[in-house]
Amino acid sequence: RGAWRGVVEEYRDWMPVSAATPVVTLGEGGTPLVRANVVSELTGCDVYLKVEGMNPTGSFKDRGMTVAISKAAEEGAKAVICASTGNTSASAAAYAVRAGMVCAVLIPDGKIALGKMSQALAHGAKILQVAGNFDDCLRLARDLADSYPVALVNSVNPARLAGQMSAAFEIADALGDAPDLHVLPVGNAGNISAYWMGFTEYEKAGLTTHRPRMYGFQAAGAAPFVSGAPVANPQTIATAIRIGNPASWDLAAAARDESGGLIEAVTDRQILSAYRLLSSREGVFVEPASASGVAGLLRLAEEGRLARGQRITVTVTGNGLKDPDWAINGAPTPPKVPVDASVAVGVLGLE
């Protein structure tokens, strides 16, 4: 097998591209599927993590962005725009550089994590900090894309969802079939929709015997699928999924219902506890929002609502380095020592 070529080339037959499409790629996809030994033990299931923080800009957004930017390039776009809680803007900014395009990003003022901001800045995006939340930013981005020559690369762009199907393909390819259950965080609801489309395509093609039930988890303060209506003022420490009015509402609800799945909420406390479990016991460092799937799975197991013995895949959506404050704040400051082995041994308790 040769080197990984990125999701457009690896899954070209499934992608909305032709020979005329200039493929703009950073080698995204091909991320590890890592067995979660501790979560498996705690749930009595066989649990795997799809580690999407290993993508080029550190989140799953790259899978969709390679397709969206390639299509924009094919259509002759000189500029792209997105609303973002941070990861989409980091990805759009990087792929726009590759394509020689201008990238405008609209972010909720003061509500995006440091690492994501550093990426958009490093890639030279034109950043506007909007006096509003993500939902306001998306409305503004849609208005601008409707009226000006700038391509919208949020997940309302179907190219994004097409690219994000590739994660479901990779999981089925790695396991040899679909899992029994697939679990993931839900924010703007594009990713759960894309996974369901991907698992559906593979089953239709006869590459898998079944489709998984889809279990999505939102943050309790930003859980419109739980309340059944948009949330006007969404609140959560998991800023990536601080979204009250998901754009892919209907697709996500269909994924939930057709699969016999669910979309529920987890508290910020449960999210942080899963975040710490992943980093301190599984060795997988994710950003807080990314831990909401694991948080939900553990809660279902505790409540006796998870049948044992299932094969379960959980998407952990973004890298822990995106939002390092949550690892640093509250942690003890490492002791300072002289260059002296006897002191170091004592402090480390190695005697």
Nearer to ligand F0G, 135 or 201 (CB): 135
Structure tokens at 129: 């900090």
Residue 282 CA to residue 218 CA, distance in Å, equals: 22
Here's the x/- map for ligand F0G, 329-348, by CB under 6 A: it reads as --------------------
Which residues from 44-83 bind ligand F0G, rule CB under 6 A? Answer: 59, 61
Please check whether residue 186 is in contact with residue 233, taking contact to mean a CB–CB distance below 8 angstroms: no
Tell whether 189 is in a known binding site. Answer: yes
Does 188 carry a binding-site annotation?
Answer: yes
Residue 105: CB atoms within 10 A of its CB come to 30
The answer to the question of whether 191 is labelled as a binding residue is yes
Binding mask 88-127 for ligand F0G (x = CB under 6 A): x---------------------------------------
| CB closer to ligand F0G, 46 vs 69 | 69
The tokens for 58 are 């550190």
Cα(60)–Cα(31) distance, rounded to whole angstroms?
Answer: 9
User: Given the complex with ligand F0G, which of 151 and 241 has the nearer CB atom?
Assistant: 241
Is residue 87 a known part of a binding site? yes
How far apart are CB 112 and ligand F0G at their closest, in Å? 8
Compute CA distances 107 → 82, 111, 128, 145, 147, whole Å: 9, 8, 6, 16, 20
Q: Does 133 bind ligand F0G (CB under 6 A)?
A: no
Residue 183's DSSP bridge partners are 215, 314
Buried (b) or exposed (e) across 65-102, using 16+ Cβ within 10 A? Answer: bbbbbbbbbbeebebbbbbbbbbbbbbbbbbbbbbebb
Pair of tokens at residue 262: 């669910």
The whole-angstrom separation of Cα 73 and Cα 5 is 19
| 190 labeled binding residue | yes
Question: Which of 240, 251, 263, 297 is the binder for ligand F0G (CB under 6 A)?
Answer: 240
Report, in angstroms and rounded to the nearest whole number, the Rg of the chain calculated over CA atoms. 20
**Nearer Cβ to ligand F0G, position 70 or 193?**
193
Nearer to ligand F0G, 46 or 192 (CB): 192
Q: Enumerate residues 265-324 that contact ligand F0G by CB under 6 A.
A: 287, 289-290, 317-318
Report d(CA 157, CA 177) in Å as an integer.
Answer: 29
Would you say 25 or 59 has its CB closer to ligand F0G? 59
User: Is 141 annotated to bind ligand?
Assistant: no
* Residue from the set 97, 152, 181, 241 that interacts with ligand F0G by CB under 6 A: 241
In the range 178-237, which residues lie near ligand F0G by CB under 6 A? Answer: 185-191
Give dist(CA 295, CA 273) in Å, integer: 7
# of chain residues touching ligand F0G (CB under 6 A): 22
- 317 annotated binding-site participant: yes
Place of tokens 């594009």: 190
Q: Between residue 9 and residue 38, which ones bind ligand F0G under the rule CB under 6 A?
A: none
Give the integer Cα–Cα distance in Å for 233 and 133: 8
CB of residue 333 to ligand F0G, shortest distance in Å: 28
Of 43 and 87, which has the nearer Cβ to ligand F0G? 87
* Interface contacts to ligand F0G, rule CB under 6 A: 59, 61, 84-88, 155, 185-191, 240-241, 287, 289-290, 317-318
Q: Which amino acids are annotated as binding site for pyridoxal 5'-phosphate, given as ranges?
A: 87, 187-191, 317
